[in-house]
Amino acid sequence: MKNSNPVLIAVFLIALAAPSGAQDLRLWYKQPAKEWVEALPIGNGRLGAMVFGGAQTDRIQFNEQTLWTGYPRDYNKKGAYRYLDSIRGLLFAGKQKEAEELAGREFMGLKSREGNREEWIEQQKAILKLKENPAQPGYNDRSWKKMQVPGYDGWEKEGLEELDGAVWFRKTFNLPAGWTGRDLVLNINKIADMDYTYLNGTWIGSGNSGDAPRNYTLPAKLLKPGQNTLAILVLNFTGKGGILGYKDPAKQIGIYPVGGSEQEQQSLNGQWNYFVQTDEVPATGEYQASYQPFGDVFFHWNVNETKVTDYRRSLDLENAVLTTSYSYNGVAYKRTYIASQPDQVLAVHFTADQPGMISFETTLSSPHRNFVVMPVSGNTVALKVKVKDGALKGESLVQVRVSRGTVQIKDNRLVVRNADAATVLIAAATNFKNYKDVSGNPSALCKTVLQKAGPRSFASILERHRKEYQRYFNTLSVNFYNKKGVPAADEALPTDQRLERFRTADDPAFVALYLQYGRYLLISSSRPDAYPANLQGIWNDLLSPPWGSKYTTNINAEMNYWPAELLGLSPLHNAFFKMVWEVSETGKETAREYYHAPGWVLHHNTDLWRGTAPINASNHGIWVTGGAWFCAHLWERYLFTKDRNFLRDTAYPIMKEAALFFNHFLVKDPATGYLISAPSNSPEQGGLVAGPTMDHQIIRNLFRSVIDAAGILKVDAAFRKTLQEQYQQIGPNKIGRYGQLQEWMQDVDDTTNKHRHVSHLWAVYPGNEINWETTPELMKAARQSLIYRGDAATGWSLGWKINLWARFKEGNHAFQLIRMLLTPAGRSAGSYPNLFDAHPPFQIDGNFGGAAGIGELLVQSHTAFIDILPALPDALPGGAIHGIRARGGLILNIEWANKQLKKLEIQAIADGTAQLRYNNTVLPFAFKKGKSYTISGDFKQINENRN
């Protein structure tokens, strides 16, 4: 990717850097975090950390953006294109099942290398050959530990951390007298991954994780009056392990008579004895890699927490500074945490209001097996980790500096005694250089970082951090008020209490805080020179995170960047564009091997190594338009900034190559004669199909963007004409028998379907093909589809629906979903106490989608008009937003009260014309780069401001 100038003209950024006003931009709490989703995030794009803020023990769980599983390799199955015509033929013949089976065998990507699982299983079962073995009822298990069973979140949450291996579980139960002589059902439901289950020493059944629920028969002849023993050998190869039971905690595991019902069940929930037979497993073949945690830094104090007073834990969004403060034994203590981009460190500063009162010990740990902690110097300790079965290793250096007092290393613990103040610097790096090169030296990188940052005072590090961070954050300010013109009383509440009340409270300032929190998270996880935010941004504490915490490209990776242009964070898009360029390179081989096509393609996931081939299963993994959706972000950057150099040097070359692929890939539908996308699917339902609506919308958007870009740049006239001809032949949007926008070529939509994906509404948002101005009938049909799909959804889906209802210009409905998104999450969608989005579990895309949706209520510029306050909900009757962007190169300051526009100022970063629209009044607007304008209160006159 060639260099371009992503940072918009600095003078305009500074001019619109309005202060945040009276509303307090802090998340704060009266207690330390107990769970990871209660901890508060900091990040500098490369390093991320979750801070718990305990008074007796404080945990900083940290990540480095390039620590992943896997290694550089070829993800593509050679010659897969030989099966393309056969798969298409089966789909055209209506043989979906056969097409999926063929595609599953011949059209999926390659997995990483695998160990010999069968040999390992036999090694673990060898213990059963012993006369006394754990399956036998008389086996002595008194020295075994105990675990609560079942545990749907895996044995990792029950004390075995990130264990993969072989674990024995044992439980005794008494046979009810009335069940004597009857066969019983052992109802365990889900086990991960394999099990060998025994009753009183006799094998009764086994299964794999993909099998049906484990409901084994306990034969009457094996049951004894009185006490009986269950023994289960669980073999777990990857991911969460153990006896998982049911996701619904109200449903229990247990036993009941065959022919009876679960209402008769004797519960087996409770403490089971367990023993880890081995924590070594063969490598598991994976389609793609997973993002990894790096380690933990713990601070320990000799404190009785019951005597701590005035506790407060706070995250200041304006300065990206996290603090923990409290009083103990008459001394006021404070800790300040930052993630500095200029100095590339996590830094923690310890102070007290009396001299000599800073004493603590620091220990290092990691969930990675066989991590090493060792001293490096008198005040520095190293943590070294290596990813299991992968190419990456990492090193972190933790250094302590004190004002007065002493620092010593004892048993690899950094010990601080009687200091006036102390500063801890945490550096971390891996051997990753790029997706093809793992020759980096993490030790040397960390030493260089500390050599540069070490001599600086914490005050200097803090000031450099603030200055760099505020370059991004201060480009936009927002305040929302209630009908009385004030934020609301709930602003004074701790954030967790505020979240609890928001569903019914009048708290518009909380919505402004949530928008700014989304901006904070994007800045913290995606600096311009870093890698893009993944499924969890840059924060993850699990070796087996949900969905690998990678880049799901059928919406989630893109949703992370919906706020970038609109909410004044355009430079942060660069991290995403770096990934776009990399997958455009790796995707060329996938295009050749799977479709015998030029250009490049990306399917529904990618990872650090930039895999682009289909993964997981043919019924959802063969989805071809991930790359085309990525290209929409390139075009949006140009539309918002009018940066011609970016269009010429970065965007257009990538977009053109994607269009070359689809020019070749589209195939004529024998039933309709249209050009359609096949094989593909409508994420993530309906299976492998020909002609999903979403694909056609995205491909049309790509073709239209390339046609327009080629015209602007005056290049590729012949190719432009080809795309214009193909554009007209692509399968159109269609309205079905229920008045809905069809999700597929065939009218097969189910109005009772409540699936979280609303893929066929892509052309409403984030696309613009369907809108009230040019396609009102399709807009009505899309709205009907969304009504059928319903409001309830996972967190990221709520974020998408908020944007859709904003585009429908129904602000009150959108605000209902904002309330749902800001609902305390349990086992359903909403937000965790730290306001992280809950799928559940945590996915950061809902934070970004929600922030973008709030902005979309205030400004829309996706049609021929720039709409001012197009979907303002009743719950936000007054407010001001400074720095929100519109396509065409415009920066807007908007103020309103009683739902009426009071002030509109516009600054231009490009030359152009537009049509401003407010309350159905249209005002033509011609503007010049570098000029600013004020629109009159009656929306009839535009005045150029004089400097």
CB atoms within 10 A of CB 943: 11
Cβ atoms 605, 615 nearer than 8 A: yes
Helix, strand or coil, per DSSP, at residue 33: coil
Cis status of the peptide bond prior to 280, with omega within 30 of 0 = no
> Which amino acid would we find at residue 320?
A
- How high is the pLDDT of residue 826? 83
Cβ atoms 361, 376 nearer than 8 A: no
Q: Which helix (H) or strand (E) holds 38?
A: none
What is the band of 486 on the pLDDT scale with cuts at 50, 70, 90? low
Q: What CA–CA distance (Å, rounded) separates 913 from 929?
A: 11
Is pLDDT at 13 greater than 80 in this prediction?
no
What is the band of 629 on the pLDDT scale with cuts at 50, 70, 90? very high
pLDDT tens for 143-152 read: 999 999 999 8
Q: What CA–CA distance (Å, rounded) separates 858 from 867?
A: 8
Q: Where in the chain is the domain with CATH 2.70.98.50?
A: 25-70+294-473
Q: Where in the chain is the domain with CATH 2.60.120.260?
A: 117-278
- How high is the pLDDT of residue 240? 87
Mean of pLDDT values over 870-884: 97
Sign of torsion over alpha carbons 792, 794, 797, 801:
positive
- How high is the pLDDT of residue 8? 38
Cβ atoms 850, 513 nearer than 8 A: no
pLDDT tens for 537-547 read: 999 999 989 99
What's the fold here for domain 25-70+294-473? Beta-galactosidase; Chain A, domain 5 (2.70.98)
Lowest-confidence pick of 700-704, 775-779, 937-941 = 937-941
Is pLDDT at 485 greater than 90 in this prediction?
no
Cβ atoms 453, 445 nearer than 8 A: no
Is pLDDT at 12 greater than 80 in this prediction?
no
Q: Interior CA angle at 377 toward 372 and 381, to 5°?
A: 30
Lowest-confidence pick of 406-415, 486-495, 500-509, 673-682 = 486-495
The two tokens of residue 108 are 């999926």
Mean of pLDDT values over 692-709: 98
Q: What CA–CA distance (Å, rounded) separates 552 from 569?
A: 22
Percent of the chain with pLDDT over 70: 97
- How high is the pLDDT of residue 70? 98
Is pLDDT at 573 greater than 80 in this prediction?
yes
Cβ atoms 361, 411 nearer than 8 A: no
Smallest CA-to-CA distance from 608 within 550, 555, 553 is with: 550
What is 116-183 written as a DSSP string?
Answer: -HHHHHHHHHGGGGSSS-TTSTT---TTSEEEEE--TT-GGGGTTTT--EEEEEEEEEEEPGGGTT--
Write phi, then psi, for 709 (nearest 5 degrees): -65, -40
Q: Who's near 476: CB < 8 A, 6+ residues apart?
A: 16, 519, 567, 568, 569, 881, 882, 883, 884
Q: Who's near 20: CB < 8 A, 6+ residues apart?
A: 318, 477, 478, 479, 516
Is pLDDT at 266 greater than 50 in this prediction?
yes
- How high is the pLDDT of residue 162? 78
In the DSSP assignment, the letter for residue 287 is S
- How high is the pLDDT of residue 946? 86
What's the fold here for domain 117-278? Jelly Rolls (2.60.120)
- How high is the pLDDT of residue 261? 81
pLDDT tens for 681-692 read: 999 999 999 999
- How high is the pLDDT of residue 160? 87
pLDDT tens for 332-352 read: 999 999 999 999 999 999 999
Q: What CA–CA distance (Å, rounded) separates 82 from 80?
A: 5
Is pLDDT at 169 greater than 80 in this prediction?
yes
- How high is the pLDDT of residue 487? 64
Smallest CA-to-CA distance from 528 within 471, 571, 568, 569 is with: 571
Q: What CA–CA distance (Å, rounded) separates 559 from 579?
A: 15
What is the band of 937 on the pLDDT scale with cuts at 50, 70, 90? confident
Q: Which helix (H) or strand (E) holds 468?
A: helix 458-473
Smallest CA-to-CA distance from 531 within 68, 60, 853, 62 is with: 68
Q: What is the pTM of this model?
A: 0.94
pLDDT tens for 831-858 read: 999 999 999 999 999 999 999 999 999 9
Q: What CA–CA distance (Å, rounded) separates 520 from 531?
A: 16
User: What is the β-pairing status of strands 202-207 and 266-267?
Assistant: unpaired
Q: What CA–CA distance (Å, rounded) separates 232 from 196?
A: 6
Q: What CA–CA distance (Å, rounded) separates 124 from 145?
A: 20
Mean of pLDDT values over 921-935: 97
Q: Who's near 639: CB < 8 A, 6+ residues apart?
A: 565, 887, 888
- How high is the pLDDT of residue 484? 76
Lowest-confidence pick of 110-124, 199-213, 227-241 = 199-213
What is the band of 16 on the pLDDT scale with cuts at 50, 70, 90? very low
Torsion of CA 87, 93, 95, 99, to 10 degrees: 0
Percent of the chain with pLDDT over 90: 91
Q: Which helix (H) or strand (E) holds 678?
A: none
What is 177-240 written as a DSSP string?
Answer: GGGTT--EEEEEEEEESEEEEEETTEEEEEE-TTSSPEEEEE-GGG--SEEEEEEEEEEE-SSS
Mean of pLDDT values over 893-905: 96
Q: Interior CA angle at 602 toward 598 and 603, to 5°?
A: 125
- How high is the pLDDT of residue 9? 37
Q: Who's near 212: CB < 8 A, 6+ residues apart?
A: none
- How high is the pLDDT of residue 22? 56
Mean of pLDDT values over 888-913: 97
Q: What CA–CA distance (Å, rounded) separates 922 from 538?
A: 43
Is pLDDT at 765 greater than 70 in this prediction?
yes
Contacts by residues 158-161 (CB-CB < 8 Å, ≥ 24 positions apart): 158/242, 160/241, 160/242, 160/276, 161/367
The two tokens of residue 434 are 């790029």
Mean of pLDDT values over 139-165: 91
Is pLDDT at 17 greater than 70 in this prediction?
no
Buried b / exposed e along 292-308 (16+ C-beta atoms within 10 A): bbbbbbbbebebeeeeb
- How high is the pLDDT of residue 508? 95
Is pLDDT at 19 greater than 70 in this prediction?
no
Q: Which helix (H) or strand (E) holds 936?
A: none
Query: Higher model confidence: residue 238 or residue 565?
Result: 565
Contacts by residues 898-901 (CB-CB < 8 Å, ≥ 24 positions apart): 898/483, 899/869, 899/872, 899/874, 901/868, 901/869, 901/937, 901/939
Q: What CA–CA distance (Å, rounded) separates 792 from 797?
A: 9
Q: What CA–CA distance (Å, rounded) separates 106 from 692?
A: 22
- How high is the pLDDT of residue 161? 80
Cβ atoms 420, 404 nearer than 8 A: yes
